[in-house]
Copies of this chain bind each other. A is one copy, B any other.
Amino acid sequence: MKRTLGTCYYPEHWPREIWEEDARRMAEIGLTWVRIGEFAWKRIEPTPGTFDWAWLDDAIEVLGNAGLKVVLGTPTATPPRWMIDKHPDMIAVDAEGKPRKFGSRRHYCFSHEGYREECKRIVELVAERYGPNPHVAAWQTDNEYGCHDTVISYSDAARTAFRKWLSETFDGDITALNDAWDNVFWSMEYDSFDQIDLPNLTVTEPNPAHTLAFRRFSSDQVVNFNRAQVDIIRAHTDAPIAHNYMGRETAFDHYDVGEDLEISSWDSYPLGFLEDRAGATPEHQRKYARQGDPDFQAFHHDIYRAVGRAQGNHPQGAGRWWVMEQQPGPVNWAPYNPAPLPGMVRLWTWEAFAHGAEAVCYFRWRQAPFAQEQMHAGMLRPDSVDAPAAHEARMVMEELAATPDVQFQQAPVGLIFDFDAAFYWETQPHGAGLDYFMLVLEHYRALRRAGLSVDIIRPRPSEFEGYKAILAPGLMHMTDEVKQALADCGAEVLIGPRSGARNAHFRMPVPLPPAFPGLDVTVSRVESIRPDLPVALAGGGAVEGYLEEIEGSAETILETEAGAPVAKQAGRVTYMAGWGDAKALDRLVNMLCVRARIATVKMPEGVRCRETGSERFWFNHNTTPAETPVGILPAAGVLCETLD
């Protein structure tokens, strides 16, 4: 499959007169894909039960005739205003009990049965009409599940659905729930499922078992909502179905959604994300203000490739995924919205291909001079003049001509990222700021500083095969099966901190964690520490924010300056008992790579590389040229070595 480019287009935003010209220009640049329709419900169904298909038929025809392939989105992220009249209680409710009203987008609660039926109805109509359309070559369900904190809702509909979900989970046995949650604590025992409320607005924190269940329930509601659309679309077409996920969205289990979809895609906004969610220091934000974080996008690329593996039968390291929306210039929604350094749009595009993307679509074709996103750049300016992104896309198209098809190669290292583990950490972090996503990202950074390509993998035995090293930081819940498979998989394995620290309902197991086969390590005490009070390690590096006291006969390989063990090892398994800083993680990664006979290359600051099988890509995320093993890379430079 060729690597391809695309864009996102809203024919309903523009006069009919310019559609052909737009399509021609897209094709002229060399774009393959054009995504449309995902916010157009009101234009498709202006009033309940009356439909206007003509404009959409026309738009698809115009685009298709220009040689473009359409990705058709279901319009369920933006129900029209009349829908609220039909279902006034369909809107979500925030944690403080406030309604999340009509007037922007994503104004629905995933648990509302009435709205779910409306979605099935409109998706059925759209799929029936366009499933057979030869120009519609792929589908997208809804848009950015979870964006604007929309997974979790405290509505009446959610309460009802949560009670039902719990009753099913516990086979209608309230005593089983009380036991699993240990509700004897603080007299929290329930007499019936109907007494269980949502875990918001409690006097102090609710039972973490309660919170964890609600997070899992909320995730399942997204999965089911999406599946209902997929089932309908699939009945009418063989075209692949995608959803466009977001950055640092851990409120639902993307793997579960991914199991129902052919293609995983995500919306990559490197500059916006650096400002509003990458968790960076102000220094780091200044340094990369116009380039984005050097690892944040790659981390998501690898995560979403893993999500793309969830359905079907892919070789290790493989997975179908796209960038459905690529930042093309300044955006409108971050605290600060600078313009990318010239060359970065090209770099981001190539970086996606280097991580296995099939397609990169720029959001959006033309900057809309109106409404909420009027300050969001496009490939064209509002006056239809080419914006810088158009130029960089043209450059990529020229370069693409000489490159191979999408390809995959299993990386030497597997890094486990588990959404359910994120639920655990968010449920009870124990120390302010302790966050699973950041923990795994920091391990990812360390691997990348060592020049390694990485596969993100799920905590499933079948995923462990063939890696020289597997890192599984922070898996608070681990089944015996997963522990045994890690112990047996033949890879060097790094676990900890908090590995196996809780059971399936957030109980701490006894014997104490990690209780890992073949590893005599016990976490005897746990502490969270002020971030400005690092605990120095003998030999360099430190533990920051979180530290376990461990005991047991396994060999100590890292200890504090005061002599307390921090990492212990037995056979191929290493347990890390704290949150290592960059230096500590570099030491661990290097130790692991030596043991696993994985070759490493120390990357210069801001330089990263990745192998695809036949290529090795080098990227310079700096504003200045960088000296690398393959020569001097200019600012925003991309270099592709051909491997044999």
Contacts and interface: CB of A to CB of B under 8 A. Distances in A.
Nearest to A335: B432
A329 interface: yes
Given A202-B104, A525-B330, A530-B336, A185 B92 contact: no
A285 interface: yes
Contact of A81 (B100, B195, B525): B195
Range for the number of chain A residues in contact with chain B: 35 or more
A538 interface: no
A168 to B, nearest CB: 21
A201 B98 contact: yes
Contacts of A313: none
Interface in A329-347: 329-330, 332-333, 335-339
Contacts of A385: 524
A47 B507 CA distance: 26
A388 B80 CA distance: 62
The secondary-structure label for the interface of chain A is loop
Contacts of A370: 181-182, 185, 209, 506-508
A524 B368 CA distance: 14
Contacts of A199: 103
The oligomer's copy count stands at 3
Contacts of A107: 202-203
A191 interface: yes
A409 interface: no
Contacts of A189: 42, 80-81
Interface in A79-102: 79-82, 84-85, 92, 96-102
From A184, A368, A432, residue with most partner B Cβ within 10 Å: A184
A43 interface: yes
A511 B385 CA distance: 11
Which 5 A-B pairs rank lowest in CB-CB distance, beginning with the nearest? A185-B371, A369-B508, A182-B370, A42-B187, A103-B202
Interface of A: 12-13, 39-43, 47, 75, 78-82, 84-85, 92, 96-107, 147-148, 150, 181-191, 195, 197, 199-210, 275, 282, 285-286, 289, 329-330, 332-333, 335-339, 368-375, 377, 381-383, 385, 387-388, 428, 430-432, 506-512, 524-530, 532-533, 545, 549
